[in-house]
Amino acid sequence: MIAQASANFARISPRKARMVIDLIRGRDASEALQLLRFVPKAGAPVVAKLLESAVANARQKAPGTDVDTLFVSKATADKGPNKHMRRWRPRAMGRATRIAKGVTHIVIELDSRR
């Protein structure tokens, strides 16, 4: 049984989110939540909330599911479009350069160990 949760357009850069995602991939869901509680990274609260949502989705999908058997089978953090967060910084001689604001699509899938 696969349960998934996704956070689209999360306001964190993909690079920062991937550092946290790589820590939890392949771990048990309870162990990953415990780990995220103590990781001092910017993406940890975002990923922890998403992982809790995935566990809740697993409970909703199959009420008889044992939560202790769930593990993170797939976790990705991909770059989202920067279309809505366009910012410009003035530069020398009347020019302007674009400020890149990171937007990320994060997907977490949980599966049960048999």
pLDDT digit string, tens, across residues 13-68 = 999 999 999 999 999 999 999 999 999 999 999 999 999 999 999 999 988 888 88
Q: Are strands 70-79 and 96-99 parallel, antiparallel or unpaired?
A: unpaired
pLDDT digit string, tens, across residues 77-110 = 999 988 777 889 999 999 999 888 889 999 999 9
In this prediction, residue 1 carries a pLDDT of 67
Among the listed residues 81, 86, 58, 46, the one whose alpha carbon sits nearest the alpha carbon of residue 1 = 58
pLDDT at 71 over 90: yes
Q: What is the torsional sign of CA 48, 32, 37, 79?
A: negative
Please name the amino acid found at residue 81: P
In this prediction, residue 78 carries a pLDDT of 95
Q: What is the CATH number of domain 3-112?
A: 3.90.470.10
Instruction: Label residue 3 exposed, middle or buried (CB < 10 Å: 0-12, 13-18, 19+).
Output: buried
Question: How remote is the C-alpha of 27 from its chain's centroid?
Answer: 15
